[in-house]
């Protein structure tokens, strides 16, 4: 049902006004009932004719439909532009935010371009992996050629017998919420994870920030992330 515009409201008002108008007509044109009836009929017929032309006319409905479709298309294009702007904005924000606030970013969150990629980096951003010991799955969103974090945080994680792990590739992972692991991200050495072959859906609130889809073997990086890992 199209919205009632000023013209439609005027037509309805005229129809509703017809009966009260009969009283005033009787005052203005005398008391002859036949004359009053004729005037009232002409008033109603005129109102109905206007309503028929503007509200029941096929052309009028076609014009209203064209207007509605144009507005619908406009809303669709606006929403599409907003979506593209959102992806661009959050991507650019992800690149700039942390490095603007502090001189260095840890846990594979550095915004420097990771190029060239050393041959010994086994896995790629976008691949789905599983933790060998804890059993949770997730998707890789970044890597470092060796553990990149403050030394005081490395000491509890790597006791003397595992000190050599600090110098091996490390990966930042978005943990699949479907596992119920209780953590949303992890930063782990390469030897603790392995690739999951086949389709594995990862549920995480930040997936759309990092990826635009899935190609059957790995998740597709958003443009801003691809700039940081051009060889993955």
pTM over 0.95: no
pLDDT in tens, 200-224: 789 999 999 999 999 988 999 999 9
pLDDT in tens, 31-73: 566 665 665 566 566 555 555 555 555 566 666 666 665 555 5
| % of the chain residues with pLDDT over 70 | 52
Q: Where are the domains of the chain?
A: 127-228
Burial 79-115 (b: 16+ CB within 10 A, else e): eeeeeeeebeebbeebeeeeeeeeeebbbbbbeeebe
């Amino acid at each position: 049902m199209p919205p009632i515009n000023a013209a439609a409201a005027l037509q309805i008002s005229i129809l509703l006004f017809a009966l009260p108008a009969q009283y005033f007509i009787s005052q203005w044109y005398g008391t002859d009932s036949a004359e009053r009836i004729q005037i009232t009929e002409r008033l109603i017929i005129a109102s109905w004719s206007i309503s028929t032309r503007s509200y029941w006319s096929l052309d009028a409905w076609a014009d209203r439909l064209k207007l509605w479709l144009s507005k619908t298309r406009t809303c669709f294009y606006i929403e599409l532009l907003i979506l593209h702007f959102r992806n661009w904005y959050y991507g650019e924000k992800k690149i700039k935010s942390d490095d603007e606030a502090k001189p260095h970013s840890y846990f594979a969150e550095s915004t420097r371009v990771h190029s060239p990629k050393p041959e010994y980096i086994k896995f790629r951003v976008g691949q789905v992996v599983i933790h060998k010991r804890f059993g949770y799955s997730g998707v890789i969103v970044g890597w470092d050629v060796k553990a990149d974090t403050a030394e005081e945080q490395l000491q509890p994680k790597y006791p003397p017998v595992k000190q050599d792990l600090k110098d091996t590739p490390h990966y930042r992972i978005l943990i699949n919420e479907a596992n119920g692991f209780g953590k949303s991200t992890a930063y782990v050495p390469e030897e603790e994870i392995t690739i999951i072959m086949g389709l594995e859906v990862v549920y995480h609130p930040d997936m759309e920030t990092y990826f635009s889809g899935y190609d059957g073997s790995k998740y597709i990086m958003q443009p801003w992330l691809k700039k940081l890992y051009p060889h993955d």
